[in-house]
Amino acid sequence: MSKNAIKILLIYTGGTIGMQKDHRSAALKPFDFSQLVNNIPELNQLDCAIDSRSFPRPMDSSNMNPMHWADMAEMIESAYDSYDGFVVLHGSDTMSYTASALSYMLENLQKPIVFTGSQLPIGDLRTDAKENLITAIQFASLRSNGLPVIREVGLYFENQLYRANRTTKINAEQFEAFSSPNFPPLAISGVHLTVNSEYLFRPETRRKFTVHKEMDTHVAILKLFPGIRREVLNGVLCIPGLRGLVLETYGAGNAPTEAWLLEDLGEAIGRGLHVVNVSQCRGGSVIMGRYETSEALRRIQLINGKDITTEAAITKLMYMLGSHVSPKAFKTIFESSLRGEMT
């Protein structure tokens, strides 16, 4: 390892990637990341100095919540000046939520943060964990003219590096577990690592790296379906303390033109609820006013989520509410891209 080796901090939060079989009981147990290089000797081929830190109690990602996101943000903040890049190992089930949240919480990021995980444990014979881990570290260590190539939060899985806040989990069994339906991959791992430079996020270099840790969880997601009853809508709109709602509509942002639905949504918006219109479709964009069934939503001032994912929309709501964005500016700011999360 050269004296100019890139310094990478590996943060293990939990998940399948950090598991291996106990040879005595055959049960899965957490991997000892202090012995990482001993167990994955291929890492010696990287010109990287790799340190690791783990959550005190690694967790299944189904238990992940905004308090744990704040813990991650603090770990990165405290180590930010000491490392050139970060790789976060995380369970795949909620990885898109966590990675999207971190993209908002880490403002003016100038270093790579790459999330990865696996579908099989690191000690399994057919595991995808080693390739995902090794390549995630490679992408976190890429440099051009002395500067990091990646300067945003990414998510690497099965040969693709995506912008984290553009991703969604699409498969619980295949190695290709994630997709980025509305934005091309930032890079592809094949025989060579191919970076699509034109798609990389370029933060404002003159602004100071800032960490935001307050996320407001007074939010909800409601998916429309044929036959939805007024009682269901009002059961959500009348949740005590609710401040933000992601409304998953049909197609390009369409909803039933039932008078009660528009009246109740309009009344909730009038009393200060922020309602974001996102599409249930995996790909495509909300275009309010394209059809009569969305024109009414535009008139009552639903926030246009454009081509944002549900994961990025709900975490953006938490971030903006936690940042105390003024009600007057809220719609305008949400409809603007903050970290490349919408086109």
Residue 325: predicted pLDDT = 97
CATH of 6-211, one of 3.20.20.30, 3.30.750.24, 3.30.470.30, 3.40.50.1170: 3.40.50.1170
Return the closest-CA partner of residue 184 out of 195, 174, 173, 172.
195
- Give the single-character DSSP code of 29: E
CATH class as words, domain 219-334: alpha beta
Residue 299: predicted pLDDT = 93
The angle subtended at Cα 146 by Cα 143 and Cα 151, nearest 5°, is 55
| Domain boundaries, given as residue ranges, for the chain | 6-211, 219-334
Q: Which positions are annotated as active-site residues?
A: 16
Please list the ranges in the chain whose pLDDT falls under 50.
none
Residue 33: predicted pLDDT = 67
User: Which residues, in sequence order, are bridge partners of residue 245?
Assistant: 220, 275
Placement of tokens 């908002």 in the chain? 104
- Measured on CA atoms in the order 316, 322, 324, 326, is the torsion positive or negative? positive
Query: What is the Cα–Cα distance from 316 to 149, expressed in whole angstroms?
Result: 25
Residue 183: predicted pLDDT = 96
Residue 164: predicted pLDDT = 97
Residue 44: predicted pLDDT = 80
Spatial neighbors of 132 by CB under 8 A, at least 6 apart, are 17, 116, 117, 118, 156, 157, 158
Query: What is the Cα–Cα distance from 331 to 343, expressed in whole angstroms?
Result: 16
Residue 204: predicted pLDDT = 75
**6-211 and 219-334 agree in CATH topology:** yes
Query: What is the Cα–Cα distance from 215 to 327, expressed in whole angstroms?
Result: 17
